[in-house]
Amino acid sequence: MKGIKHLFGIAGMSREQINYLIDLGDSFTEVNRRSIKKAPTLRGKTIINLFFENSTRTRTSFEIAGKRLSGDVINISASTSATSKGETLLDTARTLAAMQPHVLVIRHSLAGTCEFLAEHLENCAIVNAGDGAHEHPTQILTDLLTLKQPWGSPEGKVITMVGDIAHSRVARSHLLAAKIMGYQMRIVAPKTLLPSQVERYGCEVFHDFDEALPGSDAIYMLRVQTERLTDNCCFPSIREYHEAYGLNMKRLKSAGSDCLVMHPGPMNRGVEITSDVADSVQSRVLAQVDMGVAVRMAVLAALCGGGDEA
Amino acid sequence: MLLIKNGRVVDPANDLDLITDLWVADGHIAALGADLHKQADQVIDASGFIVCPGLIDMHVHLREPGEEWKEDIESGSRAAVAGGVTSICCMPNTGPHIDHAGIARQIIERSRQVGLCHVHPIGAVSKNLEGKTLTEMRELSRHGCVAFSDDGMPIWHAGVMRKALEYAASFDFLIIQHAEEQMLTKGGAMNEGWISTQLGVTGMPSEGEDSMIARDIMLAKRADARYHVAHISTEGGVELVRQARAKGLKVTTEAAPHHFALTEEAVLGYNADAKMSPPLRTEADRLAVINGLRDGTIEVIATDHAPHHDDDKQCGLSCAAFGIVGLETLLPLALELERSGVLTLSALIATMTCNPARLLKLNSGTLSVGAEADICIFDPKETWLLDRNKLFSKGKNTPWHGKTMTGRVTHTLKAGAVVFSHGVLHA
């Protein structure tokens, strides 16, 4: 794809590039609906999923995406890799790169891992599948593809994101995408869960969830990592968190019947979201998973130069 | 209808200071003004007296639940109304602590049974006052807590204090800090200085207070939080608060009467009734507190009423418990600031009525028509001898035993009912 060698993050992407990947992903949804889910796009291409952090849906969707496009997909998790035997991150990556894959899909708890490795690896595209609290670009592409069907364009829409913004890569990538794509982000959290000067992204900041609800076109709930809350004094208890920032049916109603509910998963039912909301007709949580495969097909295809004949 | 006749009515919330009549009906302020031709069932002649809103003391230890031999809600309420105080905020270092809603409800419920004054609990900032994990402040607030503090236990951990300020600021709650760096004050029984040297007693340096105030102000600035320094006692601390306020930070503070009335010299003779935390300081510190009151840096006078049993006080200075009782000496000691020209009577009364009410978002502390009729009437000139054995508080730990006080409460009204008059409780 024009101008993209790697996919590190939303930062630096243009509206055209984002739309291209979303539209390409949209075209792949048809493949996923077939009884024989196979296209030849990535035939002869090797994709390595190198995951240093636990992941179910992201890793699986990259794997399925590669396989449905006939690529050869290898999964390596931190526990099976040589890093557990003392090898450095760089040596692990260099070793894998020496096996000549076309794409390395990397998730790591350290922000900036992809940029760091790209400096030292040649002839292989790198996809960021989440680096620390920095970026998670394929999640945002997934969300925008999910919203394409109900909204057409996200321009002018309001997405209200609730929860642990401080530690969220999804939040940062969305805040960047909002500026590029022209939608408005509302951020809802106590100050203990907000990163410094977050308003400089151009978002609105709320501490009171109820104030942020009216006018929201989508409510995007983030997962609460319970250990993070209590160990670091970000919140006194799950109970009070749920009372202040949990999305329940009453709150969803005050946002309106057209308001969509999203969550990057995995959900903590009864904590940040109640079951009736998660399972409601307004919920797009499973649609996000569905679109996640299509978008990752698009990303892999684009980076392997095979998107245009899909 | 109750008529309070011919008193000097001072209501700083309404910038009012004139000799007039005050009418009370159905527990509320009904009208103000002479010759209103209403029919009074009961008349209090307040000629020569001051009529002001019932006082608010935002820093009180009631000891219930847990240490009822020192004080309980009933005896503390009695001491309050005897001192003209109709609203008290009780600190959470009880047993169990006020760190969950049930205890707050219990205290409020018990205070309503007693019925003498309003009791507003102050919730703990951290569970068990351990300074580790935050309490459910939203829940505590819904159940009547008006501010949050680990008073007695300074929040030492800077990371926890930062989060506490940020969490509280998210919901506009007030954090009250007992500012004391205990790594500096450990083992101390009085101010560190020439007197402690002569007595051979371990001192508590003023830097123990100043350093924590300085740190907290930095954290409060980052969090844009409402931060209140409890019982400020040092020259350096007052200056830090003054500078913070000049920068527009939401930093406030209170002074206890003993910190503007006494110095460390009161400890000479190993007087355990002059032992409190923060300790009595030097004359320079005392004057700095007075200057802070004069220029408005210190907006509130609060007693830090800390009743103790004799067993905890009569055990040698170094072993004695920290704290003195304050509710029944608050007004005469505070009035000295007016007599010495530090504050006008109106400004002085504001420090014990509308100023704390504003910080705590209470609707009391005013004589506005329609407000609940919590009223304090006092004779500013009457002199009387303080006898520790005649205190209504269970705590007899006062450094003013045998001293002459000027200014005496004649009547205290709560919601229009006379609960105290001329030395007698009406419950």
ipTM of model: 0.91
Range of the domain at B313: 54-360
Q: With a cut of 50, say whether residue B134 has pLDDT above it.
A: yes
pLDDT at residue B427, as a whole number = 74
Dump strand ranges (E) for A207-259: 218-221
Q: Is residue A310 part of a domain?
A: no
**Closest chain B residue to A239, measured at CA:** B136
Question: Is B164 an interface residue toward A (CB < 8 Å)?
Answer: yes
A148 and A266 in one domain? yes
Range of the domain at A89: 15-136+289-303
Mean pLDDT over residues A23-34, rounded?
Answer: 96
- Provide the CATH number for the domain around residue B122: 3.20.20.140
Structure tokens, A141? 């592409």
Q: Is residue A253 part of a domain?
A: yes
pLDDT tens for residues A11-23?
999 999 999 999 9
Predicted confidence band of residue A309 (pLDDT cuts 50, 70, 90) = very low
Q: With a cut of 80, say whether residue B71 has pLDDT above it.
A: yes
Question: Is B219 an interface residue toward A (CB < 8 Å)?
Answer: no
Q: What pTM did the predictor assign?
A: 0.94
**Closest chain A residue to B162, measured at CA:** A192
The number of domains in chain B is 1
Distance CA B305, CA B324 (A): 6
pLDDT at residue A122, as a whole number = 84
Structure tokens, B135? 């309490």
The number of domains in chain A is 2
Of A233, A237, A244, the CB nearest to B163: A233
Q: Give the strand order in the sheet containing A125-131.
A: A72-77, A46-51, A103-108, A125-131
CA distances B30 to A24, A235, B15, B24, B26, Å, are 75, 45, 18, 5, 8
Q: Evaluate the omega torsion of the peptide bond into residue A150 and state whether it is cis, within 30 degrees of 0.
A: no
pLDDT tens for residues A50-85?
999 888 889 999 999 999 999 999 999 877 666 777
A72 and A199 in one domain? no
Q: What is the separation of C-alpha A215 from the centre of its chain, rounded to a whole number of angstroms?
A: 24
Q: With a cut of 80, say whether residue B113 has pLDDT above it.
A: yes
Structure tokens, A65? 């995406």
Predicted confidence band of residue A285 (pLDDT cuts 50, 70, 90) = very high
Question: Is B166 an interface residue toward A (CB < 8 Å)?
Answer: yes
CB pairs under 8 A between A and B: 47
> Catalytic amino acids of B?
304
A150 and A87 in one domain? no
Q: Mutation test of the interface with chain B: which of A167, A233, A235, A245, choosing the one with the most B Cβ atoms within 10 A? A: A233
Distance CA A22, CA A19 (A): 5
pLDDT tens for residues B389-423?
999 999 999 999 999 999 999 999 999 999 999 99
- Residues A207, B171: C-beta atoms closer than 8 Å: yes
Question: Is B141 an interface residue toward A (CB < 8 Å)?
Answer: no
Q: Is residue B16 part of a domain?
A: no
Q: How distant is the Cα of B167 from the closest Cα of chain A, in angstroms?
A: 6
Q: With a cut of 90, say whether residue B38 has pLDDT above it.
A: no
Give contacts of A237 with chain B, Cβ < 8 Å. Answer: 136
A160 and A74 in one domain? no
- Residues B139, A233: C-beta atoms closer than 8 Å: no
pLDDT tens for residues A227-278?
666 667 899 999 999 999 999 999 999 999 999 999 999 999 999 999 999 9
pLDDT at residue A310, as a whole number = 38
Distance CA B372, CA B212 (A): 38
Q: How distant is the Cα of B92 from the closest Cα of chain A, in angstroms?
A: 17
- Parallel/antiparallel/unpaired status of strands B16-25 and B148-149: unpaired
Question: B144: helix, coil or strand?
Answer: coil
A267 and A235 in one domain? yes
pLDDT at residue A1, as a whole number = 56
Structure tokens, B376? 């304090």
Q: Is residue A265 part of a domain?
A: yes
Q: Is residue A5 part of a domain?
A: no
Distance CA B210, CA B179 (A): 8
| DSSP assignment string, B33-95 | -S---PPPSEEEE-TTSEEEEPEEEEEE---TTT-TTT--HHHHHHHHHHTTEEEEEE-S-SS
A122 and A42 in one domain? yes
- Provide the CATH number for the domain around residue A88: 3.40.50.1370
Average per-residue pLDDT in chain B? 97
Query: Residue A66: is it exposed, middle or buried by C-beta count within 10 angstroms (0-12/13-18/19+)?
Result: buried
Question: Is B100 an interface residue toward A (CB < 8 Å)?
Answer: no
A105 and A219 in one domain? no
Q: Is residue B107 part of a domain?
A: yes
Q: Is residue B410 part of a domain?
A: no
Q: Is residue A44 part of a domain?
A: yes
Q: Is residue A8 part of a domain?
A: no
- Residues A191, B133: C-beta atoms closer than 8 Å: no
Give contacts of A234 with chain B, Cβ < 8 Å. Answer: 163, 167
Of B135, B138, B166, the CB nearest to A192: B166
Residues 6+ apart with CB under 8 A from A250: none
pLDDT at residue B77, as a whole number = 98
Question: Is B130 an interface residue toward A (CB < 8 Å)?
Answer: no
Q: With a cut of 70, say whether residue A3 has pLDDT above it.
A: no
A205 and A147 in one domain? yes
Q: How distant is the Cα of B158 from the closest Cα of chain A, in angstroms?
A: 12
Q: With a cut of 70, say whether residue B121 has pLDDT above it.
A: yes
| DSSP assignment string, B185-210 | HTT--EESSHHHHHHT--EE-HHHHH
pLDDT tens for residues A126-163?
999 999 999 999 999 999 999 999 999 999 999 999 99
Are B106 and B164 spatial neighbours (Cβ–Cβ below 8 Å)? Answer: no
A252 and A153 in one domain? yes
Q: How distant is the Cα of B150 from the closest Cα of chain A, in angstroms?
A: 15
Residues 6+ apart with CB under 8 A from A302: A1, A4, A20, A21, A24
A144 and A127 in one domain? no
3-state helix, strand, coil in chain A (%, to 5): 45, 15, 40
Residues 6+ apart with CB under 8 A from A28: A39, A68, A69, A294, A297, A298, A301, A310
Q: Is residue B147 part of a domain?
A: yes
Q: Which of A90-99, A155-164, B172-181, B208-217 has the lowest mean pLDDT?
A: A90-99
pLDDT tens for residues A187-239?
999 999 999 999 999 999 999 999 999 999 999 999 988 766 666 789 999 99
Give contacts of A190 with chain B, Cβ < 8 Å. Answer: 166-167, 170-171
Q: Is residue A298 part of a domain?
A: yes
Mean pLDDT over residues A90-98, rounded?
Answer: 92
**Closest chain A residue to B141, measured at CA:** A240
pLDDT at residue A82, as a whole number = 67
Distance CA A255, CA A253 (A): 5
Predicted confidence band of residue B167 (pLDDT cuts 50, 70, 90) = very high
Mean pLDDT over residues B305-312, rounded?
Answer: 97
Give contacts of B163 with chain A, Cβ < 8 Å. Answer: 192, 232-234
Mean pLDDT over residues B184-205, rounded?
Answer: 97
pLDDT at residue A173, as a whole number = 98
Q: Is residue A123 part of a domain?
A: yes
pLDDT at residue A232, as a whole number = 77
pLDDT at residue B231, as a whole number = 98
Structure tokens, A44? 């002869």
Distance CA A218, CA A159 (A): 5
A88 and A165 in one domain? no
